[in-house]
Chain A
Amino acid sequence: MQMPVYFDNAATTYPKPPAVLNAMQQALRLAGGNPGRGGHVLSRRAGTAVYHARETAAALFGAEPEHVVFTQNCTHALNLAIRGTLRSGDHVIISSMEHNSVARPVAAMAEAGIITYSVAPVSADDAETVAAFRMRIRPNTRAVICTLASNVTGQILPCRAIAALCREKGLIFIADGAQGCGILPVTMQDGFHLLCTAGHKGLYGVMGTGMLISDGTVPLRPLMQGGTGTQSASLQQPAELPEALEAGTVNVPGIAALDAGMQWLVRQGAARIYAHESALCDLLIDGLRKMPDAEIYRTAGAKYVPVVSFTLGRETPDETATRLAAAGFCVRAGLQCAPLAHETLGTAHGTVRFSPSAMNHPQQVRAFLRQLNMRRV
């Protein structure tokens, strides 16, 4: 079976490094107990594997291991952060480039009459973007929620400056790191209170994993209550992280795989991968620029993670993606779950999103461009 060429890594990275597959298999074979639930060897091994992953994440993101909460995905982490911090009467500011993982929980809380929110437009000029957040701060503003990078265009938002603004104004800063973690040099020392990330994208773990990383200063209400293996005689959920937010059995094989993914990333060097992927994006952009009806959604002066959104003349993004899929190329077309971003871009029918990973190479991009050009034959 011929494997397709995968350029949809902003959705999830594929293929995974062999170390990730091995770690998952090893966890299933050798650490099959339920962590924290027993004193026996298999439970202890599972507990050690989970804690090791916390240590790896803590070292990568400049946090304490106990402030690393494992979640199902980034959306889960964001819901924990958003619903866990916002209270009745609060106002929150989000950016115009947010994914539905931020926009929907915020909109749902607003619809329920719990909170109000404002949307700060993102500009190519970072100072303008920060000013847009600043001018929307109200006396009851409690938090700012902002993606590190747009999942549609890849534009990098000035999160360090926004974090500084939040610290200055005493606001909680929740960062959506789904498209930035593992790609940008992000740490909690950048000023985040809560950093949410997927485990299966730039960190090269597997689907079904994510993390909420806290700086330890923001109390969070849990979304779920349940067994934690600790303080079992109490009917109250433990207050300490991470167990406070990890009710029920955690995904040990997935967490072990995520640990291996993060270690692989550190060994390879995130900066090196970033440079490699950016070069692939540049190659694509050079090719697209030679097509007179190609529109590339990038703005001069803005900075980007390795993602390119484009459209081709009258061909809809769906038609382009379908044509590419028939030729064995995987890309994401449509709204990419980010209607706010598309409203900002004026792309009602969406775009075609190209997102390479460390596993792609230039020959694949050249073949991709040849396929794009074939529509004219």
Chain B
Amino acid sequence: METYFTVGSETYAEKTYRLLGRYRYPYRVTKVTGTSGCAYRFRVSAPADEIFSLLTAHGIPYQRV
């Protein structure tokens, strides 16, 4: 089960790495250029509702992919 999302801000991307690491979610991240400019694209091996709840709870602005 894979969840994909992007984070636009590098600061929030760093916050996301730490958060996913703390909860031991396996993830990969790549820097991509999308329609709104550069962003960090995350692929997390976990259910979407679980991940998006976590991001929301920690105030991380993200976009579903």
Interface residues of A (CB under 8 A from B): 35-39, 47-48, 50-51, 54-55, 64-66, 228-234, 238, 240, 242-243
A48/B37 contact (C-beta < 8 A), A231-B8, A240-B9 known: no
Which of A48, A64, A229, A240 sits near B14, CB closer than 8 Å?
A48
Find chain B residues with CB under 8 A from A66 CB.
9, 11-12, 15, 59
CB-based contact A243/B9 at 8 Å: yes
User: In the assembled complex, which residues on chain A have CB atoms less than 8 Å from the CB atom of B59?
Assistant: 64, 66
Smallest beta-carbon distance B46→chain A, Å: 22
CB distance from B5 to the nearest CB of A (A): 15
CB-CB nearest in chain B for A232: B37
The minimal Cβ–Cβ distance linking B23 to chain A, given in whole angstroms, is 17
Which chain B residues (9-65) contact chain A, with CB distance < 8 Å? 9-15, 18, 30-33, 35-39, 59, 61
Q: Which residue of B lies closest to A244 (CB)?
A: B9
**Apart from the given pairs A39-B30, A51-B14, 18 other A-B contacts in the complex at a CB distance below 8 Å:** A38-B31, A39-B31, A47-B13, A48-B14, A50-B14, A51-B10, A51-B15, A65-B11, A66-B9, A66-B11, A66-B12, A228-B9, A230-B8, A231-B37, A234-B37, A238-B9, A240-B9, A242-B11
Q: Which residues of A contact B39 (CB under 8 A)?
A: 230
Give the A-B contact count at a CB cut-off of 8 A.
59
| Cα–Cα, bound, A229→B7 (Å) | 12
Pair B14/A47 contact, Cβ less than 8 Å: yes
Query: Nearest B residue to A48 by beta-carbon distance?
Result: B14
Q: How many chain-B residues does the 8 Å CB contact rule pick out? A: 20
The verdict on A230 contacting B30 (CB below 8 Å), with A48-B14, A51-B14, A51-B15 known, is: no
Instruction: Specify which chain A residues have a CB less than 8 angstroms from the CB of B32 in the assembled complex.
Output: 39
* A residues in contact with B38, CB < 8 Å: 36-37, 229-230, 232
A238–B12 Cα gap in the complex (Å)? 13
Neighbouring A residues of B33 by C-beta, 8 Å: 232
Chain A to chain B contacts (Cβ below 8 Å), 21 pairs: A35-B10, A47-B14, A51-B10, A51-B11, A51-B14, A64-B59, A66-B9, A66-B11, A229-B10, A230-B9, A230-B10, A230-B38, A231-B8, A231-B37, A232-B36, A232-B37, A232-B38, A238-B9, A240-B9, A240-B61, A242-B11
Closest A residue to B41 using CB positions: A39
Interchain CA distance A64-B31 in the complex, whole Å: 24
Instruction: Tell me the smallest distance from the CB of B61 to a CB of chain A, in Å.
Output: 7
A48 to B21, CA, bound (A): 14
> What separation, in Å, do the CA atoms of A108 and B18 have in the docked complex?
43
Q: How far is A234 from B9 in the complex, measured between Cα atoms in Å? A: 13
Residues in B whose Cβ lies below 8 Å from that of A35: 10
> Which residues of the partner chain A approach B8 to less than 8 Å between Cβ atoms?
230-231, 238
* A52 vs chain B, min Cβ distance (A): 8
Q: Which residue of A lies closest to B36 (CB)?
A: A233
Of B9, B18, B32, B33, most A-chain CB atoms within 10 Å: B9
B29 to chain A minimum Cβ distance, whole angstroms, is: 9
* B17 CB to nearest chain A CB (Å): 8
Instruction: Collect the chain A residues with CB atoms within 8 Å of residue B15's CB.
Output: 51, 65-66
